[in-house]
Structure 1
Amino acid sequence: MKRAESSYLMAADHRDDLAKILFEPANVARAIHEAASLGFRNYRITQDEPFDLSDTEAAKALEEWLDREQFHYLWRPTFLDQDPFRPSIVTEYPELVITW
């Protein structure tokens, strides 16, 4: 295995692990219940790392669960906060917004 291939696989594994944590239906259900009990009508799944996780198996499984439970959801672009002391970088990644 070449170094680039192993680096790609490590990055993919890390993203899959992060997606499993973020998009676990039981955790999302608990967060939705908590948000609804506080009067909110939406829940945003935010992440610390700017990765596009919308195509992962965990995200697709969550979308199926949301459809079964009749929630509405939308993947919308989220932009990285700019650091005023560094050159401008334009990076966006999708963020999941769930509404009821």
Structure 2
Amino acid sequence: MSSEPAKAIVLQNSDEQHIGFTLFHPDFGAGKGDCVFVIVPKKADLFESKEVSILLDIKEAGEHQWVRSEGEVIVSFNGVQILQYRADGTLVHIPSAAELGVWFPAPAK
């Protein structure tokens, strides 16, 4: 197992079904940086879900900024906070307060 900080975070819905990734620059262990989203659900019917719809809208906006604060990561776009990666592994859409699912570092290869 690599000791390097993750550059990709896996996103799953609350049923633990894969819905995509967040790619972080410089890496998820840094204090701040930029990120982009890759939304690729393994099951086609997930494209109709609220979680995937929200993440697709976020992805379409392009590159986002992120900052680590008290163990959590906040993602913003043009100064507006969009997502919160909580320390407990929950992914939250800040404007609606909806829990989109869970996140965890992608395994190193």
Using the size of structure 2 for normalisation, the TM-score is 0.25
Higher relative contact order (CA 8 A, sep 6+): 1
Structure in which a larger fraction of residues adopt helix:
1
Structure in which a larger fraction of residues adopt strand:
2
Using the size of structure 1 for normalisation, the TM-score is 0.27
